[in-house]
């Protein structure tokens, strides 16, 4: 979860544009190993079954945000975008309402997700708060490492603060409406009020809110069963919600998580969901006191929850938002701070 600038106290360090490894003072915490430097990597997703992770990064302190590329084998990272990669190549047919590439100084990447685009190709979808749009990038294998090329965007409606995004089988997406700035903003989420639901875009259409999906603090989102099932974290009530459509009929199941669930990621075998999130004490207008975090594994059908790692307030890395499987490890990002971590997969 990452809210608007100024709502939460941030402890950030500057990051370079070339490869960087674990910084001085970036000591491990038990079996949690750390790589320091990349600011506020709120979301992570794996490029296919490779060693590469792509991470998000929001604008902060008058500087534009970035996408990050993380080499999980070499334990190092670099800026991926904007970073002098391939020039944008807008697909005007797919994205007629988006006329220009994001401004670098305003680019602010929140939730991200990779989608299979057919023919062995992948695309990256990014929630960009610089202009409240879902940006599309083609993932290009350039030499020994991936690059991304901007190809278009889908503007979101007015008065929307989106959080996470997931691809739909038709090439469109669903994104979680975390809150509406004019209707209480983050304070409404902290008060566990219903603040928004699932927004859907179908190619050739407009972005619309899906009836019956409204929760408090709609956050991480994942799609399965050819788009008929959507899981979403209700951050404001610390629950996971499973929506299923049978034709026009919607059914819903909810399970408590015991922490504020953030981003959702499918396990490497596609059989379970990993959810990372925070334990905190909410304060009106922020900041929120971070008191530990959890990563859990959830059965997507029964909603049985199994603890993977539970950390207290003394853990070095706080504000965990995501857990991603890479081989025998789980990698985690955070909305506050300049660390990416990894620990043994259990």
Q: Where are the domains of the chain?
A: 33-344
Using alpha carbons, select from 324, 298, 287, 293 the residue that is nearest to residue 310.
Answer: 293
Share of the chain above pLDDT 70, in %: 90
Using alpha carbons, select from 76, 98, 80 the residue that is nearest to residue 89.
Answer: 98
Q: Where are the alpha helices (DSSP H) in the chain?
A: 185-190
Distances (CA, A) of 121 to 118, 139, 148, 309: 6, 7, 12, 33
pLDDT band at 281 (very low <50, low <70, confident <90, very high): confident
Token pair of 335 as six digits: 């909305």
Q: What predicted TM-score, i.e. pTM, was given to this entire model?
A: 0.92
Nearest 10 degrees: Cα torsion 274, 275, 276, 277: -170
pLDDT 10s digits, 57-112: 988 778 899 999 999 999 999 999 999 888 999 999 999 999 999 999 999 999 99
Alpha-carbon gap, residue 108 to 240, rounded angstroms: 26
Distances (CA, A) of 120 to 47, 151, 304: 12, 17, 33
pLDDT on residue 143: 83
pLDDT at 17 > cutoff 90: no
Residue 94 forms beta bridges with which residues?
none
Instruction: Report, at the CATH architecture level, how domain 33-344 is classified.
Output: 6 Propeller (2.120)
pLDDT on residue 290: 81
Kindly report the number of other CB atoms within 10 A of residue 313's CB atom.
12
């Amino acid at each position: 979860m990452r809210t608007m600038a100024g709502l939460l106290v941030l402890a950030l360090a500057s990051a370079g544009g070339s490869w960087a490894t674990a910084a001085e003072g970036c000591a491990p915490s038990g079996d949690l190993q750390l790589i320091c430097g990349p600011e506020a990597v709120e979301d992570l997703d794996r490029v296919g079954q490779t060693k590469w992770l792509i991470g998000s990064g929001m604008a902060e302190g008058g500087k534009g945000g970035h996408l990050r590329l993380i080499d999980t084998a070499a334990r190092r990272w670099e800026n991926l975008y904007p970073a002098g990669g391939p020039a944008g190549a807008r697909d005007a047919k797919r994205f007629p309402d988006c006329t220009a590439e994001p401004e670098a100084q305003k680019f602010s990447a929140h939730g991200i997700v990779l989608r299979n685009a057919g023919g062995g190709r992948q695309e990256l979808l990014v929630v960009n708060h610089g202009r409240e749009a879902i940006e599309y990038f083609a993932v290009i294998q350039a030499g020994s490492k991936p690059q991304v090329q901007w190809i278009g965007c889908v503007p979101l409606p007015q008065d929307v603060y989106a959080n996470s995004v997931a691809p739909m089988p038709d090439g469109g997406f669903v994104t979680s409406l975390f809150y509406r700035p004019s209707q209480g903003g983050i304070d409404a989420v902290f008060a566990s009020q219903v603040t928004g639901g699932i927004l859907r875009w179908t190619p050739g259409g407009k972005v619309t809110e899906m009836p019956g999906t409204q929760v408090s603090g709609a956050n991480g989102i994942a799609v399965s069963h050819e788009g008929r099932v959507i899981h979403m974290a209700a951050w404001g009530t610390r629950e996971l919600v499973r929506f299923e459509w049978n034709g026009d009929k919607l059914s819903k199941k909810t399970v408590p998580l015991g922490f504020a669930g953030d981003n959702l990621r499918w396990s490497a075998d596609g059989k379970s969901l990993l959810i990372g999130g925070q334990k905190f004490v909410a304060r009106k207008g922020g900041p929120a006191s971070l008191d530990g975090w959890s990563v859990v594994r959830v059965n997507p059908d029964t909603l049985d929850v199994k603890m993977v790692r539970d950390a207290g307030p003394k853990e070095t890395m706080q504000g965990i938002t995501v857990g991603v499987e890479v081989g025998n490890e789980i990698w985690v990002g955070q909305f506050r701070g300049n660390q990416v971590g990894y620990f043994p997969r259990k």
